Amino acid sequence: MVILVAALSALPVLPAPLLSIPLPLQQESWDQIRAKITVDQIHPRDPVDDALARRVDDTYLRAHSFAPSEDLAAVVEALADSSKIPMRVTEEAVDRANDEGFSFAAEWSEPASLRWSLDLLCRDVNHAITWSVKGGKVVVSTHEERLAKPLLHLHPVKDLLEYAEIDDLAYLIRDSCAPYLWDLDGCALEPGGDNFLAVTHQRDVHLKVESMLAETRAFYRSREGAPKFELPKALQDGLAETRRLRELPVTTSLTIDEGTCTEWLADIAQIAGLNYHITSNLRQELNLADTIPMGSIRQMPLGRVLRDLEISLDARATLLPGWIILHTEGESFEPRAHMSFDVWDIVSPSLHSDGGILFPAQLEEQISNLVLPDSWDNDPNNMVRIGEDGVLTVSQTAEAMDELCELLKKLQKVAIITHGRISRDPLAGR
């Protein structure tokens, strides 16, 4: 997952100024647009509003109770009285809250930050309203009132493309930074050439995107020792040969009701250039002199031919390098593996642990349900278990192990994306 860490650490991270470009975008190449961006184009913030935003962060409301209220203005006034911070609410925000069926009630016994209280107020109406610091007051308004003209900025992601697809990074940004605002007029996100993400949004969203990408860079760079989910080479080579044999085209001269089990198997094995074996347990169950209805085979993959034979005999056919083994359902001839995987970056030992996306029992259930789900009861030696040390131990066939490795890689990728998410609304209070 993590490659070229040393080389990556040497790559410069370009400064990230913002550029305002009339919408729709000018018909220029991304490189031309990038060349126009200078640090002088970042607009400074009002120091009075900056100071008030810090007060919002540092202000905590003591134990408080809000009786159920359908009046947004009354709730904002109560917050202003409790925090001693000036606030106002716009008429448009009141109308929007009423349209959403606003009804607010809350109670907390421990001190709660004013920022958290304002965020809670906005979430209560499905983010139909927002809040910001402007003109020396906390202003509760609609998003349309809050938003300034969107700014285009090309965020450099060349170094991150060593680890993730550009579409995954775009998904991460959309899902983490004000996900409910991307459909507003003027906001957009698209690849900007091969090495950039072109984001058109509010300045504060851009700053949060830059912070998130910086955290993602640090996270990837820290993963030099991250677990690798790969089969040993011997198992990989054996699986590759088995899969090649399954696709091998075979043709037989035998026709429907013409051959016995032994004749069919001998003919198929000869055409495929393989040896064959019928186990003694299956010989006791079958009358090998009986003709079996197989039909005519014309250029069919060997795997499909053997599947038809399994159905006709109610038996199992296992392909191994150089061999076809015909056996009963209760017998197993597939190569087996007993392996351990370190899954510390996928599993959370408890609710309060950092990292991980699944509890141990959830990962065990995912594996049983998604990796050859019908195979786990075929052999009493099959098992999956996660120890207290975060090590996953699995005993299964090589093919199941191969699918397990692919599942773990996907879950590890989800974990990386999840760890990079930003939980707070980047526009709130800015």
Residues 28-67: pLDDT tens digits?
A: 444 544 444 433 344 456 788 888 888 998 888 876 666 7
Q: Of 194-203, 306-315, 362-371, 408-417, where does mean pLDDT reach its minimum?
A: 408-417
Q: Of 293-297, 363-367, 409-413, where does mean pLDDT reach its minimum?
A: 293-297
The token pair at 352 is 């309060």
Over residues 359-364, the mean pLDDT reads 88
What pLDDT, on a 0 to 100 scale, did the predictor assign at position 5?
29
Over residues 345-373, the mean pLDDT reads 76
What pLDDT, on a 0 to 100 scale, did the predictor assign at position 86?
93
Mean pLDDT score across all residues of the chain: 76
| One-letter-per-residue 3-state SS of 328-388 | CCCCCCCCEEEEEEECCCCECCCCCCCCCCECHHHHHHHHHHHCCHHHCCCCCCCEEEECC
What pLDDT, on a 0 to 100 scale, did the predictor assign at position 174?
82
> How sure is the predictor about 226, in pLDDT bands with cuts at 50, 70 and 90?
low
Q: Is the pLDDT of residue 9 over 70?
A: no
Helical (H) or strand (E) element with 185: none
Distance separating alpha carbons of residues 72 and 76, to the nearest angstrom: 6
261, 294 contact by CB (below 8 A):
no
The token pair at 127 is 């983010």
Q: Is the pLDDT of residue 288 over 80?
A: no
The token pair at 115 is 């920022």
Distance separating alpha carbons of residues 14 and 37, to the nearest angstrom: 11
Q: Of 178-192, 269-283, 391-405, where does mean pLDDT reach its minimum?
A: 178-192
* CATH class, 236-327 region: alpha beta
Close Cβ partners of 174 (under 8 Å, ≥ 6 residues apart): 182, 189
**Sign, Cα dihedral of 354, 355, 361, 362:** positive
Residues 118-148: pLDDT tens digits?
A: 888 888 777 788 888 888 899 998 877 776 7
What pLDDT, on a 0 to 100 scale, did the predictor assign at position 117?
85
% of the chain at pLDDT higher than 70: 77
Distance separating alpha carbons of residues 240 and 230, to the nearest angstrom: 14
Q: Of 26-30, 88-92, 421-425, where does mean pLDDT reach its minimum?
A: 421-425
289: left (phi over 0), alpha (psi -120 to 50) or beta: alpha
> How sure is the predictor about 401, in pLDDT bands with cuts at 50, 70 and 90?
very high
The token pair at 381 is 């030696």
Whole-prediction pTM: 0.48
What pLDDT, on a 0 to 100 scale, did the predictor assign at position 175?
77
262, 288 contact by CB (below 8 A):
yes
Please work out, in degrees rounded to the nearest 5, the angle formed at the alpha carbon of residue 29 by the alpha carbons of 28 and 35.
95
Q: Of 48-52, 182-186, 283-287, 295-299, where does mean pLDDT reach its minimum?
A: 295-299
What pLDDT, on a 0 to 100 scale, did the predictor assign at position 207?
80
Domain extents for the chain?
A: 5-44+150-221, 59-146, 236-327, 337-412
Over residues 182-187, the mean pLDDT reads 76
Over residues 240-262, the mean pLDDT reads 77
**Sign, Cα dihedral of 235, 236, 241, 244:** positive
Q: Is the pLDDT of residue 379 over 90?
A: no
Over residues 329-353, the mean pLDDT reads 75
Distance separating alpha carbons of residues 292 and 260, to the nearest angstrom: 6
CA count, 13 A, side-chain hemisphere, 13: 14
314: left (phi over 0), alpha (psi -120 to 50) or beta: left
Distance separating alpha carbons of residues 277 and 325, to the nearest angstrom: 5
Question: What architecture does CATH give domain 59-146?
Answer: 3-Layer(bab) Sandwich (3.55)
> How sure is the predictor about 17, in pLDDT bands with cuts at 50, 70 and 90?
very low
136, 86 contact by CB (below 8 A):
yes
The token pair at 168 is 């995954």
> How sure is the predictor about 257, in pLDDT bands with cuts at 50, 70 and 90?
low
Q: Of 147-156, 334-343, 371-380, 393-402, where does mean pLDDT reach its minimum?
A: 147-156
230, 342 contact by CB (below 8 A):
no
Q: Which residue has the tokens 């526009």?
A: 427
CA distances from 126 to 32, 97, 115, 232, 252 (A): 40, 9, 17, 50, 66
59-146 and 236-327 agree in CATH topology: yes
Closest to 5 measured CA to CA, from 223, 165, 157, 227: 223
